[in-house]
Structure 1
Amino acid sequence: MTPLVATAVLTAAVTHAGWNAIAHRITDKLVGFTLISGGGLLIGLAAVPFTGFPAAGAWPYLLASSAIHIAYYALLMQSFRLGDFGQAYPIARGTAPLLVTVIAAVFAHEVPDGWAAAGIVLSCAGLTGVALWGLRGRRPNWPAIGAALATGLTIAVYTVVDGIGVRASGSPLAYIAWLMAVQGAVIPAYALYRLRGELPGLLRPFARIGLLGAAMSVAAYALVLWAQTKAELAPIAALRESSIIVGAAIGAVVFKERFGLPRVAAAGLLVVGIGLMLRSG
């Protein structure tokens, strides 16, 4: 992993934490994700005339990823309904990198070398520390934890599916444009069915911030998809989930959730892990 790729993924991590915080802040989760998903649909459709079509070999992965992303959004909405942002977000994101390492080794034949493996393990230790700190001193909310863990599984699966798909696409921009266009209609369609005439009035107060979240979501994932064409999937997944540290900071500043010394130590482990992954590159 080169410094340029690492910078792109870290930028994606910050942007990703930002749109998740926006989604959490909108009280009605269906309204929030309708704006974010629908905004992604509009961005994808606007980009399609300029990006063209992905190569034929990418379409099975793109369609599979669209279905997995819909499950991801549904589970993420549920985890945000049931748990605090500082708890749900770290657990959902922190479970993914090790799963990606295993899945990528099996399906993409990518086995990390010693430095990368050490970096992934240290990074995951830091991410796990943040997640566990989110559970401190309270009775576990098992439904929220279950939803967050299931969200993490979908993240790992779509990460590998998209990593293989974008490499077969011939164009990361075409792949992200069509991915947004294909998956983006489902949640707005469900919201329209569920809320009918109430939907425009519910969307209006959050339209600006929701569409900002959509733009951030598309930008974050476009950067990750580009990075997946330049480096192996597992280190990118581990580095991408540094968004957990950003999310924890947002939780402390915006949602008044404690950050704490253990999260500082976890962030330190993550930084060391990133350094080892860069050494591998």
Structure 2
Amino acid sequence: MTLFVVSIILSAAMLHAVWNAIVKTAADRTTMLGLVALGHVIPGAAMVVLLPLPAPESMPYVLASTLIHFGYFYMLGRAYAHGDLSVVYPIARGIVPALVALWAMIFAGEVLPLQAWGGIALIALGIQLSSWQALRSGVESGVGRAALGYAVGTGFCISAYSLTDGLGVRLSGNTLSYWAWGAFLHLFVAGFIGLRKRNTLAALRPRTWIIGIGGGLVSMTAYGLVLYAKNFAPLGAVSALRETSVIFAALIGFVFLKEGNWIRRLGAAVLMAGGVALIGTSL
């Protein structure tokens, strides 16, 4: 894997951490997620008009990814109903790299070398270490099997749409077109949340609309970079590097939100950096 591809994926991870921090600090996270989805739809609509259609054989993957995203939002919402963000998020993201690598091996025939699997393991360990105190506090405060189950379900959905989009974008013949249609079809997510939160949306201040839609633009850019990288690198490796967003989010929380223990998070960052190096030098 070239340094250029690694830098693209790490940039996407950082951008993901930024929009995730926007959602995390929102008073109403569901409404903010709806605005983030709308931030995908607006540029996506313009792009589908201007760009050619992706190859027909890739369109079932776009539709499948949209359906999986519905499951993802449902699982995530239920997980947050039973557990804190700081408990649910590291579990959901931590299991994704190994799952995507496994699915890619089964469905796409991508077999990663042992060194890359070691890098995935280090990244997953770093994700858990970065939020260890939150995870332990969650267990001690009575977060039960429901939160754990929904968090694992969320991670399963993330791995499913990661595989689906990784296969679909390779068939599309045009990464930008595939990206545009995936963004535009967030219309269904934005519309569903908009209907449920229509009274709340009517009372929102313009600043909240701007922040939410801006977060969507950041999110869309982040995922576009990941889709681009999936054309050139194994899906399991891309997913593992992508999940370094957790440590970026942890650093944002420590520096700007005054959360967490810097020694533990520095240790997690070292583990994840080691994982990135192992993956980058093995492919």
Distance change in 2, residues 1:47/1:178 (3 Å)? same
CA distance in 1, matches of 2:198, 2:263: 47
How many equivalent pairs are there? Answer: 280
Task: State the SS of the aligned residue for 2:192.
Answer: helix
Shift of 1:178: 0.3
**What amino acid is the match of 2:101?**
T
Shift of 1:276: 1.0
2:71 corresponding residue in structure 1: 71
Match 1:146 to one of 143, 149, 165: 149
- 1:52-201 aligned at under 5 Å gives the runs 52-137=52-137, 138-142=140-144, 143-182=146-185, 184-201=186-203
CA distance in 2, matches of 1:249, 1:145: 24
Task: State the SS of the aligned residue for 1:175.
Answer: helix
Distance change in 2, residues 1:118/1:39 (3 Å)? same
Shift of 1:168: 0.4
2:39 corresponding residue in structure 1: 39
Moved beyond 6 Å, runs of 4+: none
1:247-270 alpha-carbon deviations (Å, 9 max, x no partner): 112233344321342322221111
CA distance in 1, matches of 2:134, 2:175: 35
1:8 corresponding residue in structure 2: 8
**TM value normalised by structure 1:** 0.92
**CA root-mean-square deviation:** 1.9
**What amino acid is the match of 1:115?**
Q
Query: Does structure 1 conserve the Cα–Cα contact (< 8 Å) formed by 2:166 and 2:227?
Result: yes
Segments of structure 2 that go 5 or more residues without pairing to the other structure are none
CA distance in 2, matches of 1:31, 1:263: 30
Task: State the SS of the aligned residue for 2:203.
Answer: helix
Shift of 1:79: 3.6
Query: Does structure 2 conserve the Cα–Cα contact (< 8 Å) formed by 1:21 and 1:247?
Result: yes
1:124-155 alpha-carbon deviations (Å, 9 max, x no partner): 22223224342134335234333322211111
Query: Does structure 1 conserve the Cα–Cα contact (< 8 Å) formed by 2:9 and 2:225?
Result: yes
1:23 corresponding residue in structure 2: 23
Query: Does structure 2 conserve the Cα–Cα contact (< 8 Å) formed by 1:94 and 1:131?
Result: no
Residue identity (%) = 38
Distance change in 2, residues 1:257/1:88 (3 Å)? farther
Shift of 1:31: 1.2
2:253 corresponding residue in structure 1: 251
